[in-house]
Structure formats: structure tokens, C-alpha cells
A and B are shown apart, each in its own frame.
Chain A
């Protein structure tokens, strides 16, 4: 399709989605989402509805229900979802992006046939990469997996697993060997969180929400058939998950950011600051940044589809997004004045759209820290894209230092 025909088709889709949202978008979720149980219910219901409408996973390949949408179509969908003020799918986000996209790349046909439909049916995944001593230095993972016959026996602790306390399954990075470079001893397993020996303990985040959890694994058995890639190939598989987290998810998130700019516009008018040049300029600058973030996410995906994605491209997308989101929520607080300093009940499941600016602002740190912090992205960009030398690997510490 070209030119006018394409534009017409996209306009048609926008109308179709808008109509569907008018009939199906949940109402009053913000008010109702202040309890965990209500949050879970709203999220599950909304996900199921989107699956039914064919709008839950537009980024999946065409052979799966709801998949095969073009980039332009996906964007329209996300913008309309934001405009209709629907809750972000926090609960199933990891399942439909991190898990699914890793599975598409690495899982066998049998594994895919088994696991992908369950995601559509509402199975929740979380990501178990980080550990107390493996944060930015992800290769330092120490959770140990010992092969015994046709299964692995796993022992260790995982930290900051988003939605870990609600999840059914976990993308698990473990150590199967201590020989050679750290990365070479890693293996990627799919953990059933209902298995004996798994304990999830929620952790309180600073905005009051329990969004992530730590996982304790005590002699947990994982069948060898639940491994992605070969033993020792975990680092490469993990890069797929991270690339999805840093790049692919951002098409949705940046389009939602653009779709949510009206929230700030409304606030500027409500505060009578439409003639305040400082505010108007900053809002203008922010809108341009949001557009640039959307554009760089689009470009990333186009390159990925064309097979010319470079290592590090995803880092640019993530770094643009995290900084723009910080500016976005900061402007909200600035406009909110003293009111933004008051605590209103936490709305789970919002990104920059909870209607609670301080919570959104604090939550924006999730994006500058999680999924590889801004500093780590900068290192990747400088070293992998710009070609600057890497930091020396070994350091000589003075006796007694640290």
C-alpha cells in the first residue's frame, strides 16, 4: 500500500480502535486501583479484553493471534490507548514483551506452542536476572544451577523482580559453570514459580507500591526441557530479553507518552499558566523531546525489522525515553505546586498516567535504573556505537582500599 491508500487505511484503523475503546475501555480504574486485589482484577480483565479485541500483542509475529501489525498501526493503537486513558498493562507487560520476544527468538517450536498461547490466556511472567551483587554487573550472577539427570537443581537469590510476587513464571539467569569468562558460565532457564523451594517476598518501592519482589530459590528443580538455548549460552539469550526491554517496549511507551501530553496541557490551562512563557516554552521543549523519543523508537524498530540493528541502538532508545519521562513527570510536579506534595492513594498500573504526579515522578527512576541504568546505557553507547575504548578490565587496588 502506498500514499493515500495507506493513509486511509491507517485513519480507518484509528477510527476502528477509537470506537472499540469507546465501547470497551475500563472506567474508574484510577479510583479503584488503590488496592492490590482490585489492581490485579482490573489488569487481568483489561488484558483479556484486549486479547479478545485483537489489540493486546500487535508487536508479535503474524502467526500469533493479535500479532503482525505494522509499526504505523502499532503506534496508532498505543496513542489511542493513551488518549482513551486506559491503564498500562503492568502485570502482563513482561509476559508479552520480555518473555514472548525472548521465546520467539530462542524457544523450540514445542516450547513456543506450549508457552505462547498461555501468555494470551493470562499467564504472568517476571524476569529474574538481578541479584544482590549482580546489578549493573549482570555477568556476576551467582545463583547456581547444578545438572542432575534431566533437571537442574537451583539455589540462590534474585532481586527486584518486577511483578515477581504475582507471576507464574520467571525468566531465570543462572550460573552453571565457573570456568572461563563470567558470561560463558551462564544458562537461561524458565522457572515455574509454583515449584517447591521458591519464595517471593515483595519489596516496598518509594512511591508506596510493592511493584517488585525478591525471589529465594532453595533446591528448586527445573527440567532441562525448560532451558532456552544451550547450557552456557545464557548471556546471549539474556541479550535478547534486554534488547526487547530496552528497545521494543519503547515503541508502546513513547507513543503512550505522546498520547498522554494532554494531561500536562490540561494542567497548564487549569492553573491559568497558558501565558506563562517559561512554562509554555518548557512544555514546547518537552513535546519536541517526546516526538524525538517516538522517532528514535520507530527508527530502532525499522532497523531491527530490516536486520540492521546494531548492538547499542536499543540503549539510545532507552536513554532517550528515561530522560524524557523524567522531564514529563517533573513538569507535572512543577505545575501541581503544593497539591503535588500531598499524597493521594497510589494507583497501580500507571506509568506517567496515574494522575498522581509525585508517584509518577518517583516511578520514573525505574526507567533510569532498571533494565540497565542510564550510566550503563551511556557506557554501551560510547563503547559499542561511538567506538570509544572500554574501561580496562582489571584494576589494581591499593592494599586495604575497599
Chain B
């Protein structure tokens, strides 16, 4: 697996590492499909690459680092659900289409979706299908059976929609199987949001350090001020610790929802810290549209709210930790 992680990392760096921040959405999507990133988590017998959570982690960190727009996370959630739907006749064709880049989207909001309303669904207007997850049924609803409303967000790297379901769609799982699948989808969502956040934090920190090294005030580079160095050191420490937790969770196939929720809350807190500090340490220029600082901040804030916010996960983590410590 370590070998594979390095390989995927290399590919991710090549794909988005050199390009500018927030690349074009359509081109990025084509590239992601072409590189086979949507096949990563799919078992080999279904035509995928059968790579585990680590590879998925690399991809989402890469996407976060470059602020890649588009529905990659929502798509992966849908593919995960399809892979589990072993008595759906048209499954193989649907997976093949999804892996090839036909948009099949899902809610990023988290928790169980309402009866017939979904929020925070990326690119729903161009999707062929929308995933619907409830307590006792997971379904894939074709575009003809949904109506979508665009909701302009602060984070322009996501195009989010409210979706109203107007038909039953295809059943992917029911009953206990649906509950288990809902958990898997939620786990993946949390893990990927954490990855996107840590990648973004890494890039924002690098950008800030580079700025402090070049910007001169008081006849010296800002990087010479210990007050600022210490801030950078704090960020580096928090980010490294969260990143270590991320890769450790990536190897724990049995990490439960709460463990991943805690990871996501921590990663988002670090992302927000770094993005806020990036603006502050850039001074006036960081508060303008001309500079990319704000793109990180807006994505950090959205990631923090998606999939359950820190209040939600901190509380659940606290209760679980209390029980464990009893």
C-alpha cells in the first residue's frame, strides 16, 4: 500500500501540483476522470483499481491543495453506494459511466437526508443521477425525477444545489444493508472532507511562508520577525499532527464514524486557522479579491459546515471519549 500511496501522490502532484490554484472546472473534471481517480476505491471485479482509503486520501488532499472545483467528492460517495448495490441489474453499466466521469452527485451536508429534499448537492444541474440516503433506503434517483435549485455559496469552488426528489429512483440498499451503507457513505464523506481541508491548509501555509519571506517592511523580510515565525511554527505543528491522524485513520479500516467525525472536525479547525492566519499575515492584500487567500478561507468555512460541524462532532467525540474512559 505504501508503494501505491507514493505512486498516487506522484500522479496527484503532476496533475494539479504545478497548475494554478482553482483551475478550470470542466478541464479539471476531465483530467480527474482520465487519470482514473474515480476508479480508485472501486473493487477490481467491478472494473476499479481496488485501492483503499489511502489512495482516496491522497486524491482529496491533492484536490484541496489546488482548490480544484467540481463534484469529485459527491461522485465518490455515489460510486461507493453503487459498488455496494449487488442486486441492481444495471449496476455495472452505471458504475462504468460514473467512473468515466458522467456526473452522479450526492449531498455533502451529511447526516441522513430528509424524505425528499437534499441540500448542498454539487453540480446537480449537470448530473445524470442524485444519490439519496435515508435510514432504511439508499437510492439513486435519475435526473428526470428531480428538480434542482442553485444556491450561490461564498465558496465559488462548489456549485451547490437544493434538490427535491419527485420519483423513487433505483433502490441500492434497504433495511440493515441501507443502514450499513449509510454509515460507509458518511465515513467516506468525513474522511474526504478532512483530506481536502488538510491539503488546502498545506497549500495556504506554503503560500503564506513564501510571502513572509519576500515581503519587506521595516527594511527586512517579514519572516525575520519572531512573532510571525512562531505563528508559522504553531500552524506547522497543528497541521502536522492533524495530518498524522489523517494517515493513521486511513490505515484503520474499522475506524468508526465518530473517530472520522473527530478527524474531520480537527482537520477543518486547522484549515480554518491556517486560512485565517494567511489573510492576517498577508495584510491588506490578503483582504482583496485579487489575491487567492480568500479562496482558501471560503473553502475552509464551507468544509467546516459540511458533514456536520465541529459542535456536532466535538460533542459526540466527547461523549464517546467519556464512555471509553469510564
Contacts and interface: CB of A to CB of B under 8 A. Distances in A.
A136 B280 contact: no
A369 interface: yes
A334 interface: yes
Nearest to A279: B311
Interface stretch (B130-138, B195-203, B218-226, B241-249): B218-226
A397 interface: yes
B60 interface: no
B120 interface: yes
Contacts of A378: 227
A136 B155 CA distance: 30
A380 B100 CA distance: 59
B106 to A, nearest CB: 15
B89 interface: no
Contacts of B315: 278
B279 interface: yes
B297 to A, nearest CB: 7
Contacts of A342: 151-154, 160
B219 A343 contact: no
Interface residues of B, number: 42
A137 B218 contact: yes
B59 interface: no
A375 B305 contact: no
A5 interface: no
A366 B220 contact: no
B151 A203 contact: no
Interface in A323-347: 333-334, 337-338, 340-343
Nearest to A396: B220
B283 A402 contact: no
A263 interface: no
B154 A358 contact: yes
Contacts of A140: 217-218
Contacts of B56: none
B177 to A, nearest CB: 29
Given A279-B311, A343-B154, A402-B214, A338 B284 contact: no
A363 to B, nearest CB: 9
Interface in B101-132: 109, 119-120
A122 B279 CA distance: 34
A170 to B, nearest CB: 17
Contact of A206 (B214, B221, B289): B289
B192 interface: no
Interface of A: 130, 133, 135-137, 140, 159-160, 203-206, 208, 276, 278-279, 333-334, 337-338, 340-343, 358, 361-362, 365-366, 368-370, 373-375, 378-379, 391, 394-395, 397, 401-402
What are the 6 A-B residue pairs with the smallest beta carbon separation, nearest first?
Answer: A206-B294, A204-B289, A137-B217, A402-B221, A343-B152, A137-B218
Interface of B: 109, 119-120, 151-155, 160, 213-214, 216-221, 223-225, 227-228, 279-280, 283-284, 286-290, 293-294, 297, 301-302, 305-306, 309, 311, 314-315
